[in-house]
Amino acid sequence: MKNEGLFAANIKKIRMSRIIIYGILIFFSIIYLIPIYILFTTSVKSFKEVSLSRMWYFPMEFTLENFKLVWVGSVEQGFNGLGRMFMNSIYVVIPATLISTSVGSLNGYVFSKWKFKYSNVIFSLFLFGMFIPYQSILIPLVETMRRIGLYGSLSGLILAQIIYGIPITTLIFRNYYATIPTELIESARMDGANFFNIYRHIFLPLSIPASAVVVIWQFTSIWNSYLFPVVLTTSPKVQPITVGLVNFAGSYFIKWNIQMAGAVITALPALIIFLLLGKLFIRGMMAGAIKG
Amino acid sequence: MQRTLILKTKIEKDRNFLFRLTNEHDGLWAIVTVIPSIIAIAVFVYSFIIWNGYVSLSKWKGIIPNYAWRGIQNYIKLFNTQRFQIDLRNMLVFSVVFIGGCLVIGLFLSILLDQNVRGETFFRGVFLFPMAVALVVTGVVWGWLLSPGNQIAGYIGVNQLFEWLNLDFLINGWYTDRTFGIVAVAIAAIWQMSGYVMVMYLTAIRGISISIREAAHIDGANVFQLYRYIIMPNLKAITLGIVIILGHISLKVFDLVAAMTGPGKGFATDVPAFFMWDTTFRGNNFNTGAAIGIILLILISFLVVPYLIHLRRSE
């Protein structure tokens, strides 16, 4: 009898603590989702609903007009459409991601399996390149781009994104290839395979998961980046979308529903990737968040 | 018998010879493969740092480069500039609030998620997705959420929520506050990065062997004691790693400030990284901008270099 009472009390206690745990988790989830609520509800509100005092209200009617307006731009409201800048981001992000990933894959292969004199020191110097504040190289970067005629162009931005992406892509591939047994290389060489054969027939096929991680990581960080675009591109014709968004967030004339629609368009590609491929994103993050 | 032995050694020799030959070529190809990257990093990172160091000691102001020597004077002047003093203080406040907030929230959430909760994947996703959002988007949205409004025209954003919930004492000026405006920026940054800290902690906690936990359980430790005496002491290494990563992010923070507030009233939300960009590319004070860049680099090196050496050693 007594035991039963104790048992019941225990169950009650456990239930209570469960309720508290879920309560706290749900509370935090709501807080984390608040910015997203504001972002999406405001972006579909019409102009008559967008007053500041009603910013928390759920929209009474949904409209996609804001997205249309923000995409093409408006002469009388004085802002450039983000559509063109969205495409600029695409033109930058695709080649920069593919090239920096390929280069990182080859580098990682060498730094993990073909160590040469000082290769470890060189690799450490690569790693440090990942941490540097870009403010400490911006002026020479702009000067160099000017001298080689790439300042203010998409190719200049692509080049910068590739080069400063090399450390992180090399790191992820190197760590991944380090898990592949070296005996595999030795036996392949016994069979007469050379440096490139081994890469093409053994490492490349094995590195598909790592490549996916790196591609996703590079895509999101290049898409989201703002410092290089704002410094290296000067006209809306070549500016990526992050620059466009900040430019019109600074304007007092543009209504909040338009700004939020712009923010949604800017955030969406990376968010979709996160939702679809979250696991790979997390793996890249574990290796790559050091990039900041 | 002897003949076969001779033949065998001959084959061995041949094979060794062939092996050495390809070996040398392969080694060469390996170096050739990485040389373009080595050159790129040598030029775009290391020579640029030296170049920038030179600019920081020059007389270069204005659009046309001027490499005439000025010396350490640039740095002395910079440290005596009020804006830079405010920036350094802001950077410190930001770092403390941002790192502290991320650690506390990240650890707390990871412990909660470690309790066998249903829907763990969902919760993890909710806490983590902000990391995938562009910092400039975070800046725009939080800049609006933390707009204070005022009593007469009506509060807006988060202040309005506080008013509705009768939490009036929490209403404040956020990033318009002259002393603590930078804290508002740190709050947005915590939203962005605390999920990452949670994942790091959760991975570390799950990495602690179950047998240790069970032993503690058999010894009669309750949940609180388990975390206090068994789990937390095992999280020291990962905490150091997280602090270094977050620390170097907080020294570099730029996107968020640019999108959310700009320098703010009386430079309330200004940071060195923003000042650098502002004074260089808007004010054409290239030598001052270069000096700020070098100072940031030195600060980050103090943080990162010992850590990198430690990591390489333990590898």
Q: Name which of A32, A163, A275 is nearest B130 (Cβ-Cβ).
A: A32
On whether residue B269 sits in a domain, the answer given is: yes
Both B48 and B190 in one domain: the answer is: no
Q: Name which of B22, B55, B251 is nearest A189 (Cβ-Cβ).
A: B22
- How many CB atoms sit inside 10 A of residue B203's CB? 13
Residue B286's alpha-carbon distances to A210, B54, B62, in angstroms, are 41, 11, 7
On chain B, the residues whose CB falls within 8 A of the CB of A148 are none
What tokens were used for A54? 């009603």
Q: What is the pLDDT of residues B276-296, one digit of tens each?
A: 999 999 999 999 999 999 999
**pLDDT tier at B21 (50, 70, 90 boundaries)?**
very low
Domain map of chain A by residue range? 2-63, 79-291
Both B126 and B260 in one domain: the answer is: yes
CB distance A89 to A240 below 8 Å: yes
CA B132 – CA B134 distance, rounded (Å)? 6
Q: Which of A82, A131, A203 to mutate to test the interface with B (most CBs of B within 10 A)?
A: A131
Q: Name which of B52, B142, B191 is nearest A32 (Cβ-Cβ).
A: B191
On whether residue B228 sits in a domain, the answer given is: yes
CB distance B140 to A245 below 8 Å: yes
Alpha-carbon Rg for chain B, nearest whole angstrom, is 28
CA A154 – CA A237 distance, rounded (Å)? 9
A292–B249 C-beta distance less than 8 A: yes
CB distance A154 to B21 below 8 Å: no
CB distance B305 to B281 below 8 Å: no
| Complex-level ipTM | 0.91
CA B238 – CA B190 distance, rounded (Å)? 18
The amino acid occupying position B133 is: V
On whether residue B65 sits in a domain, the answer given is: no
Q: What share of chain A is helix, strand, coil (3-state, %, to 5)?
A: 80, 0, 20
CB distance B66 to B58 below 8 Å: yes
On whether residue B162 sits in a domain, the answer given is: no
What tokens were used for B60? 């270069």
CA A162 – CA A222 distance, rounded (Å)? 9
Instruction: Report the CATH number that the domain containing residue B231 is assigned in CATH.
Output: 1.10.3720.10
CA B281 – CA B63 distance, rounded (Å)? 9
Residues in chain B: 315
On whether residue B163 sits in a domain, the answer given is: no
Q: What is the pLDDT of residues B149-204, one digit of tens each?
A: 888 888 989 999 999 999 999 999 999 998 899 999 999 999 999 999 999 999 99
Mean per-residue pLDDT pooled into runs of 10, chain A (292 residues): 62 84 97 96 91 89 92 83 96 98 96 90 93 96 97 97 96 90 87 90 91 92 97 94 90 84 96 87 66 36
Range of the domain at B296: 80-136+182-314
Note whether B104 contacts A: Cβ–Cβ < 8 A. no
Output the DSSP codes for A175-229.
Answer: HHHTTS-HHHHHHHHHTT--HHHHIIIIIHHHTHHHHHHHHHHHHHHHHH--HHH
Both B250 and B119 in one domain: the answer is: yes
CB distance A269 to A224 below 8 Å: no
| pLDDT for B315 | 65
Residue A113's alpha-carbon distances to A175, A181, A182, B207, B282, in angstroms, are 11, 9, 7, 28, 47
Q: Name which of B30, B131, B258 is nearest A195 (Cβ-Cβ).
A: B30
| pLDDT for B20 | 47
CA B148 – CA B103 distance, rounded (Å)? 27
Region B73-79 average pLDDT: 97
Note whether B80 contacts A: Cβ–Cβ < 8 A. no
Q: What is the DSSP secondary structure assignment for residue A79, as one 8-state letter?
A: E
Both B220 and B299 in one domain: the answer is: yes
B259–A246 C-beta distance less than 8 A: yes
CA A100 – CA A291 distance, rounded (Å)? 15
| pLDDT for B17 | 46
Mean pLDDT estimate for chain B? 90
A223–B134 C-beta distance less than 8 A: yes
Helices B120-128/B181-207 angle, 10° precision: 140
On whether residue B111 sits in a domain, the answer given is: yes
B251–A25 C-beta distance less than 8 A: no
Does the pLDDT of residue B12 top 60, yes or no?
A: no
CA B23 – CA A253 distance, rounded (Å)? 67
Mention the CATH class of domain A79-291.
mainly alpha
3-state secondary structure of B64: coil
Does the pLDDT of residue B22 top 60, yes or no?
A: no
Q: What is the pLDDT of residues A183-214, one digit of tens each?
A: 888 888 888 888 999 999 999 999 998 899 99
Specify the number of domains making up chain B: 2
Both B120 and B9 in one domain: the answer is: no
Q: Name which of A35, A127, A136 is nearest B52 (Cβ-Cβ).
A: A136
CB distance B156 to B149 below 8 Å: yes
Domain edge (last residue) among B56, B71, B94: B56
Both B51 and B105 in one domain: the answer is: no
Q: How far apart are the first and last CA of chain B?
A: 49
On chain B, the residues whose CB falls within 8 A of the CB of A132 are 45, 49, 297, 300
Q: What is the pLDDT of residues B243-260, one digit of tens each?
A: 999 999 999 999 999 999
On whether residue B225 sits in a domain, the answer given is: yes
Torsion sign, CA atoms B133, A177, B308, B107: positive
Pick from A169-173, B207-211, B236-240: least confident: B207-211
On whether residue B175 sits in a domain, the answer given is: no
Both B26 and B87 in one domain: the answer is: no
C-alpha B167, offset from chain centre: 33
CB distance A204 to A102 below 8 Å: no
Note whether B126 contacts A: Cβ–Cβ < 8 A. yes
Report the DSSP pairing between strands A79-80 and B154-155.
unpaired
